[in-house]
Structure formats: structure tokens, C-alpha cells
């Protein structure tokens, strides 16, 4: 009698709150992953010598990595292992979750060396009104653009276009718009007529008078017939992607305390348009065009105010039976800059370009072997890198990178 009473009360509460009753079906759980180790020969060479006077933003080059790098390593790229599940809650509502880690097939080290589940991890609800996810995940900008994967292995591999398409030549990862972020809340609308909208916010958790560290992203996609289009925009608040990489005399960022100077704020933003067309069932072409903008305010006269650069890429994939051939090219220009007070600001030598070529042979839908090659060229002051494990990925300004790899991939 008591048990029936409790059940009745629970049912009444669920109806009163407008919530569906829990479905009786057991939740599903899936183990999945992708492993693709490769033997990689890489060479970085031709860095601009330390002591060379650069443009306004870079000043005199003081890079410690001007020596040539040449070697062969085994890399695991973005090999991963994941767990995910879904539960039908009834009334069209579903709960879902995912935990995903990096797997070092070459050395057994998981995650990124500091955390176990270093990739996309979230829990969410999905229904007729859309999907909401909370956790750690790729930004919308990263997820919906540059969408034609290079042989299915470009994520975390040197054949990714991101080193040029989503990052300028001025400096480190603080400038990148190819990110995975912590503390994310994301909403995805239902698909209507092929269109879908996405909105994302990453809580900075460092909010203060000098630093916010939050991220906002939004995008819209269209999928219909042979066409895929995506427009994405992302904003970084107080990342100081410009000041962290320009000459110290121009910087609005305290590199010891890792905060902006008193009274300064930054808003780094990027906008990208992606267009993909399936010419035939076996032929796909994709183009991307992006603008990256690093804007700061509150700095003293003569300090950094803005740097803006445009990037673009084109990617072609052709399947011939069990073979897949692919070529991609990306380019970023020198850009332009301004200083507080209007002094002359030059950006010459910050451009870069990258060419990728590859071929794969599929034994099945899950297993393949592949051969890939890449040439990334930095202009005299550019410092883009896709070097990976060799030399810990460090290059000098102006250094070019040539890489060739043979690998095997298995998806489960």
C-alpha cells in the first residue's frame, strides 16, 4: 500500500511539473574509438636568425628555436577512446552523455598528460525544442567549419588546416580559434528546412577587474542535397591574443602575472564562412574564408590596439573504389595593425601557407592505411606550427615545416 502511494505521488508530481514519466527501457551505453598511429618524418628549417629586426609588432627576433629540426617519430594523432550513452525519458525527451579520452597508441599515455578525459565530455537533454549540452567540448567555430576531414584523420594531425586557417602568424595558442573549451553550455536548435542554429558560452571562471576569460560562439548551418554551408562567429574576452605575442614594449599584458595591464581589456573575434559541394557521390569540394580580429582597449599611447588578418582554404576529396585521394591548401595574409595614438604599424612577413596531399586504401568501413604529406611555409616573421611531438612542436620565426607520414587507422 505504501509503495503504491509513493508511486502515485511521483506520477502526480511529474504531471504537475509538465515532465514526462521515465521510460522503462534500459539506457544504452556504447564504447567507441578511433586509433591511428603513424610513422612521421619531419623537418623544420630556414628560421629567420635571432637578432633580426622584424616588423612593428614583432620587433627584434629573440626566438630560441632557430636551429634546423630533422627526425622520425611515431605519433598517435588524435587516437581516442570514448564512452557514451542515451536514455529515453519518454514524451520525445532523451538524456545523453559522453566521456572521451585521448589514447597514446605509441606510448600508452592517455589524455593530454595532465587529465584523463581530455576530449569532449558532456551531459545533455534533447527534445522537440532542441538540444542542450553542458561540459567540455569543441567550440562551435571549430566544429561546424573546415568540415571536410582530410582522409578522416585530420583532427589533431599535421594535415589539419587549422594552423593557417584558424591561427595567425603572430604567435602562440592564445591566438587560435581551433579550440576545445572547459565549462561550456551549448544549445542546438531543431533542424528546420535543412537549417540549424547553435549558441555556446564558456564560463571563464576567472572574472575580475582585469580578466574575464569567457568565450561566446554562435553559428548556423544548412545541409540540403549536395550542399553544406556554415557561418560561425566566436569571441574571446580578455584572452589578449594580440598582446601576449607582440613586442613587450607594445603589450597590454603582464606576462608574469598573466593578466591584462590595469584598465585594459581585449576582445578577440573570428568569423568564418564554409561552403561544401558534393560534385558526385565520390567527389567533394570545400572552401573556407575567415577573418581573425584581435582588438584591445585602454592601453597607453603607442601600445597595441588591433591586429586583423584574413585566411582561406580549399579542400578536394576524390574516392576511387577503395582508394581516397585528397588535396588541401590554406593561406593566411600578413594582415594589418593599429597602435594607440595612430602611430605607423607594419605587419610585413606574418603570412603563411600550407599544402597537404594524401591517399588512403580502405580494407573495410573501419580499417585503412594512409600516406600523407604536408608543406607549411611561414614568411620571415610567421611562427605557425604543425610539428607535433618532434622538438615538442617548437619552431622559430620564419621556419618552414615539411612532413611525410605512413599510418594505419581503425575505427570501432
Domain ranges of the chain: 37-411
Helices then strands, counting H and E runs in the chain, come out as 3, 21
Of 3.30.1130.10, 2.40.160.10, 3.20.20.70, 2.60.120.460, which CATH number belongs to 37-411? Answer: 2.40.160.10
The pTM of the full predicted model, rounded to 2 decimals, is: 0.89
Say how far apart CA 55 and CA 247 lie, in whole Å: 10
Distance in angstroms (rounded) separating the CA atoms of residues 40 and 87 = 42
Where do the DSSP E strands lie in 225-334? 227-237, 253-254, 259-260, 265-280, 283-297, 304-320, 323-332
What are the two backbone dihedrals, phi and then psi, of residue 394, each rounded to the nearest 5 degrees? -85, 130
DSSP state of 16: H
Query: Which cell goes with 249?
Result: 614594449
Assigned C-alpha cell, 251: 603589450
Residue 60 exposed, middle or buried by CB count within 10 Å (0-12, 13-18, 19+): exposed
**pLDDT tens, per residue, the chain with 412 residues:** 444 443 333 333 333 334 444 445 678 999 999 999 999 999 999 999 988 998 999 999 886 666 788 999 999 888 999 999 999 999 999 999 999 999 888 887 776 666 788 899 999 999 999 999 999 999 999 999 999 999 999 988 999 999 999 999 998 888 999 999 999 999 999 999 999 999 999 998 876 766 788 999 999 999 999 999 999 999 999 999 999 999 999 999 999 988 999 999 999 999 999 999 999 999 999 999 999 999 999 999 999 999 999 999 999 999 999 999 999 999 999 999 999 999 999 999 999 999 999 999 999 999 999 999 999 999 999 999 999 888 778 888 999 999 999 999 999 9
DSSP structure string for 152-163:
T--TTSTT-THH
The C-alpha atoms of residue 85 and residue 101 are separated, in whole angstroms, by 15
Amino acid at each position: 500500500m505504501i509503495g503504491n502511494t509513493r508511486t502515485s505521488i511521483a506520477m502526480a508530481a511529474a504531471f504537475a511539473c509538465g515532465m514526462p514519466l521515465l521510460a522503462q527501457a534500459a539506457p544504452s551505453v556504447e564504447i567507441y574509438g578511433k586509433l591511428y598511429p603513424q610513422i612521421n618524418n619531419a623537418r623544420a628549417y630556414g628560421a629567420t636568425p635571432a637578432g633580426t629586426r622584424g616588423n612593428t609588432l614583432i620587433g627584434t627576433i629573440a626566438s630560441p628555436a632557430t636551429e634546423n629540426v630533422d627526425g622520425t617519430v611515431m605519433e598517435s594523432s588524435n587516437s581516442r577512446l570514448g564512452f557514451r550513452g542515451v536514455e529515453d525519458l519518454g514524451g520525445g525527451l532523451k538524456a545523453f552523455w559522453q566521456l572521451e579520452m585521448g589514447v597514446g597508441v605509441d606510448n600508452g599515455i592517455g589524455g593530454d598528460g595532465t587529465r584523463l578525459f581530455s576530449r569532449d565530455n558532456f551531459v545533455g537533454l534533447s527534445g522537440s525544442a532542441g538540444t542542450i549540452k553542458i561540459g567540455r567540448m569543441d567550440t562551435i567555430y571549430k566544429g561546424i567549419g573546415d568540415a571536410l576531414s582530410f582522409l578522416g584523420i585530420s583532427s589533431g594531425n599535421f594535415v589539419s588546416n587549422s594552423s593557417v586557417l584558424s591561427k595567425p602568424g603572430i604567435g602562440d595558442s592564445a591566438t587560435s580559434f581551433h579550440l576545445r573549451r572547459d565549462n561550456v553550455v551549448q544549445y542546438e536548435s531543431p533542424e528546420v528546412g535543412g537549417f540549424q542554429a547553435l549558441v555556446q558560452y564558456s564560463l571563464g571562471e576567472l572574472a575580475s577587474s582585469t580578466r574575464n576569460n569567457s568565450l561566446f560562439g554562435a553559428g548556423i548551418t544548412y545541409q540540403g542535397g549536395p550542399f553544406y554551408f556554415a557561418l560561425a562567429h566566436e569571441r574571446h574576452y580578455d584572452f589578449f591574443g594580440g598582446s601576449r605575442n607582440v613586442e613587450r614594449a607594445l603589450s597590454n599584458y603582464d606576462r608574469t602575472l598573466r593578466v591584462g595591464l590595469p584598465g585594459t581589456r581585449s576582445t578577440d573575434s573570428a568569423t568564418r564562412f564554409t561552403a561544401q559541394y558534393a560534385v558526385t557521390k565520390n567527389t567533394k569540394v570545400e572552401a573556407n574564408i575567415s577573418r581573425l580580429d584581435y582588438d584591445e582597449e585602454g592601453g597607453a599611447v603607442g601600445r597595441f590596439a588591433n591586429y586583423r588578418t584574413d585566411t582561406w582554404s580549399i579542400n578536394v576529396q576524390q574516392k576511387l573504389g577503395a582508394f581516397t585521394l585528397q588535396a588541401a591548401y590554406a593561406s593566411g595574409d600578413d594582415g594589418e595593425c593599429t597602435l594607440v595614438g595612430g602611430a605607423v604599424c607594419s605587419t610585413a612577413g606574418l603570412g603563411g601557407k600550407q599544402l597537404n596531399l594524401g591517399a588512403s586504401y580502405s580494407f573495410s568501413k573501419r580499417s585503412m592505411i594512409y600516406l600523407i604529406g604536408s608543406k607549411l611555409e611561414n614568411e620571415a616573421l610567421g611562427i605557425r606550427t604543425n610539428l607535433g611531438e618532434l622538438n615538442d612542436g617548437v619552431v622559430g620565426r620564419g621556419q618552414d615545416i615539411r612532413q611525410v607520414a605512413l599510418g594505419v587507422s581503425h575505427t570501432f
